[in-house]
Structure 1
Amino acid sequence: MKYSARNRFILFAVASYTILALAWIFLSDQLLTAFSDISSLVWLSTAKGVFFVVASAAMFFFALRAVPPAESFGRQTILETLSSGIARKRFPRSIMYAFAVVMTLVTLLVRTSIAIPFVQRPMMILFMFPIILSALLGGLGPGLLSTALAACCVAFFALPPTHSFLISNSHDLLQWSFLVTNGVAVTLLSEMLQRTLARAEENRRLLDTVVSGTPDSVFVKDTQGRYLLANAATAEFIGKPANEIIGHDDSALFPEPSASEVMAIDRVIMTAGCAQTHEEHVSTLDGKKLVFLATKGPVFDDTGQVIGLFGISREISNRKQAEEQIHRLNADLEQRVCERTAELQAANVELKELAYALTHNLGAPLRAINGFSRILLEEHAATLDGEARLCLDQLRDAGEQMGHLIDGILALLRCTSGELRREPVDISSLATRILNGLSRTEPERPVIREVEPNLSVMGDAAMIELALSHLLDNAWKFSRETAHAVIRVFADQVNGQRRICIADNGAGFDDDHRDLLFQPFQRLHRQDEFPGIGIGLATVQRIIHRHGGELTAEGVPGKGATFRFTLPESAVPFT
């Protein structure tokens, strides 16, 4: 037989009943020998039997309520088991008060049935039985009622003068006072015990609700690895009912080597004396492979000695499979991205090589066209009529335009290839030098130039110079028809980010066509108004984007335009 809590309590109850019954028989029989009167012996024997039946019934009532469940295999002591048996259940208050009155009156009837007169031997100790029983089952109110009723019965029927509540003898008054005091004390102690047990039971129920309701496996083992507690989730994972798990270790519940591995981890945790969280891979007897995220720690007794191990394990097999699948998908995606990036890089290289080849191969025929057309105009102009010279001039203009286009394409290709070197670039000095160069090409133009000092960025100096040249050249060109042209280079700040701004008060543009500004070879003005090939702003945008910055434009027709660009970690602190 396994010495479970249930079996230990059954043995204790049987042994206690046997000892107490034998002791009662022996003592009561010894009491009977003190009487020689037959009627007294009959009444005393009857009272003895009634008391034995009532006491036995009460003992069986508490014992049956305290019997632990069959699956209990914990370290619960006999005292703890008995405490759970006497824990007060919820009965209607009226029934408990009636029970207190009936038990006290029954005790009075038993005492009056005894042949020994009340006055000679009151036997007030008998009245403690209904007081204790009422206090244990009913609590404070029934216990005090039984005490008061017992005190009244003793004073009225037992103590002289009888049939009066007056107690004349001081010795009797002292005994009566002891009865009342003991009754009140027992009642108060019983009430405190019941409240303590009720709080403990409430906490136990709450804990049992949490442990039983959680989908995580919750268990407790002793130092030998035997399960002392296992919730429903544990039983479901193992594949056995809880009563077949309690009292067994992992070697009876899991196949090798899973059982040995788990038990080895448990021993390490109990030896270390501290909780740990780790993954456990377990195979069940029916062949399932499970993965748990387990938190385990030692259980200590009052002296600080390790007496077992607790565990909370969450089954994460599906999560692990999902993580592995995501890892495989990420690896596959990364491989595809690398392959596609390599393909795009190869395609870009081929495209750039093709563009360089085309511009180089177009350059020689174009130079020949321009050269021979110039020879015709310089050496054979006299033999050409007016219409022929006009056609030749148009041919030269087209050749020059095509040359500019080829130069623009080459510039566009150069700004998106090659190594990007970041270094401090003095925007104020660079803008001043570019504007001075433009002013020398048209010294007669009165252009007001405003350049904010101490502007600087971090970037590739050659590329930043090219971008700034295009922006200032556009400002110079599109303000040509303005009477009082103003070109400004300054900085502003938005959301803590500094922007370099180039503004003019020239022709401007319609905001509805803003997206066309940065497309190669797209123009918003006629060639005869403002000559150009439409490649400058596209080049600027690619330079700024390659630096990781942003380029924006604002314009109003006839009032000018403002271009702003930002570069990451580009500007010195704004002051």
Structure 2
Amino acid sequence: MKNPSYRDDKRPAKKSARQNSSKENMQKELGLNKLAFILSAFSIGAAVLVSTFSYQKTINDTLTQYYNFYSQIAGMIALNIGTHSNMSDNEILHSLESEWNTIKNRPSDEHLCIVNEDSKLLLHTSVPSSVGSIVDHNLLLDKTEQKYGSLGDLVKTQKEYVGGYISSSGDAQIAAFAPVPQKKWVVGVHRSKEALLKEINSGLKPVFFSLIIISGILIPISLALLYWSFIICYRKSLRAEKAFTDSEHSYHTIVDGTDDLITQVDANGLFTFVNHTSNKIWGLSPEECVGLSAFNFIHPEDQEKTKKAFEGWITQKKKHITYQNRQVNKNGQIFEMHWTINLEFNESGEVLRILNIAHDITERKKAEQEIADLNKNLEELVKERTITLEAVNAELDAFNYSVSLRSMEGFSKILLKNNENTLNDESKDHLNRIIKGAARMKDLVDSLLEISRISRRNLVKSKINISDLATNILKTLRSDHPEHTIEVVIEKGLFFYGDKKLLNIALENLIDNAWKFTSKVTDPRIEIGSIRPENEAIFFIKDNGCGFDMGYADKIFIAFQRLHKENEYPGLGIGLATVKRIMNLHGSKIWVESELNKGTTFYFKPIGT
């Protein structure tokens, strides 16, 4: 049960005011009855006229009270959904349905429904089987034009609605709908109008019909019966009042059951309602907060900015706002809060009330700051490592390994030449091995330095015609190796957005591989083209060469990993590692498919086609 000081201007008037209204109505009826006794000639006509008018007015007043009540409930639920828009739709719907079903003293024909922007029913506590159906045939009465509109149209316009409602089954109901802008949903609370009128009539009909009938028979008897009827009516009104209050308390459990801070302020920013979370955030009870200015709790550095924003919302007549600021409690503790704010205006544009729901995001902000600090430290560490790596690379570039290796190779050749007649065969063999090893080492070092330079190269990207590059590379290979007759098929119009020099190096290595490994097959063939599975372009270079066992596929892109002996197919084992490095620099993926003695196909995804 909430604190007695709990205030909510969105609810109907205070209980005492409603009781006074019921007593005043009863006194008016008794006064009219006395007048009917004095003016007996007009008693029957007056009784019928007054009874009918009072009967209809009472019904209309009761319906209006229910309309207002449902409007407030729909608005509060919609605002609560908007505050928890970070939750999944299923979680929100399940939570609302559970809370609704736990409300005590709720009429059995009073239901909650939620419709999304596609006019699809997401929740209906009365007919769960209707969830998923379209509500375009559900009608709302437009009071201005006195015609019915579609509930689907209301969802699209995201407007509030209170009034008559025709369900898909044709049942006339009273309803109130409130929009959820964050989800583009509409929340509706409705009840069968027929059932409600029966409930009202069950208490009112005996009173008014007895007034009409008895007043027409005997005025003294009718007055006595009327007195008895009004006693019954008064007792029924007390019971109805209690049921209404119990229902009101039940709905407050939604507000009191949340850890979010819920407040209501007037146009001056003074609290008219605060829920229990004020104890946690500000260290003050709800009754201590009511009447205080909301700006008193804002962090000094955020106060001026928040005041200007508040004034702007009112001036611009904004209805739904999200906002973040810091709150400070009486002990100086600071809370980061995310606000969902709903402003209500009257027809004159004046503020009626401002309802706010705030979620504590202090821990989230701390986590974000920790991540930012870690990223900053990581950037600094990467920068330091980059400077060190650049220095090492500069030293590698500055040291000319090739000169040393060429010197070794040259001096060995001179030693062999000058002592050819004096050296035995074993010594000559040793010198020849030194010469070959130095030459191979020079090639290896040059290849490694080239890979290092490729990795550090700044890409100069443009739209490259892969077909033209491949044609030129094969033209050079044919010129250098005229003895190798091979069939070549190149698809035209293959484009890749990248660095022309690096892409040319990659294609040279891939095509040179295909050329080399088809040198010992009959009818050699190389095909360069593309496939497009699911509208995604993939380029390939295919040959019918010697191929290899796919069990070794994970090794071929690693430097110096060779699957064939050098005397079979010469090479350093560095080409495909270079290709892999170039594709990585372009953000492209390369992979291979091969079958021993049947051929190999390299695939890679083009960028920017």
- Calculate the TM-score normalised by the size of structure 1: 0.60
Provide, for residues 283-324 of structure 1, a one-character-per-residue CA deviation record: whole Å limited to 9, x for no partner. Answer: 4445444444444555656x64747533324252xx235414
How far apart in 1 are the matches of 2:455 and 2:298? 65
How far apart in 2 are the matches of 1:349 and 1:334? 23
Letter of the 1:453 partner, please give it: K
Provide, for residues 478-530 of structure 1, a one-character-per-residue CA deviation record: whole Å limited to 9, x for no partner. Answer: 22221222222222234433233222222211211122212222211112222
How far apart in 2 are the matches of 1:86 and 1:390? 127
Provide, for residues 119-160 of structure 1, a one-character-per-residue CA deviation record: whole Å limited to 9, x for no partner. Answer: xxxxx9xxxxxxx9xx9xx986688779999999x99xxxxx
Provide, for residues 393-423 of structure 1, a one-character-per-residue CA deviation record: whole Å limited to 9, x for no partner. Answer: 4444334323332332343233223332223
Long gaps (5+) in structure 1: 1-67, 88-123, 125-131, 156-171
Is residue 215 from structure 1 mapped to residue 153 from structure 2 by the alignment? no
TM-align CA RMSD: 5.2
Question: Secondary structure at 1:407's aligned position in 2?
Answer: helix
Match of 1:429 among 468, 478, 482: 468
How far apart in 2 are the matches of 1:500 and 1:427? 10
Do the aligned residues in 1 keep the contact of 2:517 with 2:546 (CA within 8 Å)?
yes
Match in the other structure for 1:278: 323
Do the aligned residues in 2 keep the contact of 1:553 with 1:561 (CA within 8 Å)?
yes
**Bigger mean CA offset, 290-299 vs 428-437:** 290-299
Percentage identity across paired residues of the two chains: 22
How far apart in 1 are the matches of 2:590 and 2:256? 63
Letter of the 1:443 partner, please give it: P
Is residue 556 from structure 1 mapped to residue 592 from structure 2 by the alignment? no
How far apart in 1 are the matches of 2:226 and 2:431? 136
Computing the radius of gyration from Cα coordinates, the structure with the larger value is 1
Match in the other structure for 1:547: 586
Higher strand proportion, which one? Answer: 2
How far apart in 2 are the matches of 1:73 and 1:561? 77
Letter of the 1:409 partner, please give it: L
Match of 1:249 among 281, 292, 303: 292
Match in the other structure for 1:82: 20
How far apart in 1 are the matches of 2:603 and 2:7? 79
Distance 1:259 1:245, change over 3 A: farther
Shift of 1:349: 4.1
Distance 1:233 1:342, change over 3 A: closer
Distance 1:539 1:228, change over 3 A: closer
Provide, for residues 358-405 of structure 1, a one-character-per-residue CA deviation record: whole Å limited to 9, x for no partner. Answer: 5244244135236526744xxx65666655555554444334323332
Provide, for residues 28-77 of structure 1, a one-character-per-residue CA deviation record: whole Å limited to 9, x for no partner. Answer: xxxxxxxxxxxxxxxxxxxxxxxxxxxxxxxxxxxxxxxx9677797947
Match in the other structure for 1:520: 559
Shift of 1:350: 0.9
* 1:55-204 equivalences in 2 (<5 Å): 76=13, 79-83=17-21, 173=217, 175=219, 201=245, 204=248
Provide, for residues 216-247 of structure 1, a one-character-per-residue CA deviation record: whole Å limited to 9, x for no partner. Answer: 3334455676654443334665545545555x
Shift of 1:455: 2.6
Letter of the 1:82 partner, please give it: N
Do the aligned residues in 2 keep the contact of 1:544 with 1:567 (CA within 8 Å)?
no
Number of matched pairs: 439
Shift of 1:201: 4.5
Is residue 440 from structure 1 mapped to residue 482 from structure 2 by the alignment? no
Higher relative contact order (CA 8 A, sep 6+): 2
**Bigger mean CA offset, 380-389 vs 142-151:** 142-151
Is residue 327 from structure 1 mapped to residue 369 from structure 2 by the alignment? yes
Long gaps (5+) in structure 2: 26-43, 45-53, 59-198
Question: Secondary structure at 2:554's aligned position in 1?
Answer: helix
Question: Secondary structure at 1:515's aligned position in 2?
Answer: coil
Match of 1:337 among 355, 375, 379: 379
Letter of the 2:455 partner, please give it: T
Letter of the 1:543 partner, please give it: I
Match in the other structure for 2:144: none
Question: Secondary structure at 2:411's aligned position in 1?
Answer: helix
Letter of the 2:524 partner, please give it: A
Shift of 1:438: 2.5
Shift of 1:476: 1.9
Question: Secondary structure at 2:497's aligned position in 1?
Answer: strand
- Calculate the TM-score normalised by the size of structure 2: 0.57
How far apart in 2 are the matches of 1:221 and 1:400? 87
Letter of the 1:211 partner, please give it: V
Match in the other structure for 1:468: 507
**Bigger mean CA offset, 249-258 vs 514-523:** 249-258
Distance 1:286 1:189, change over 3 A: same
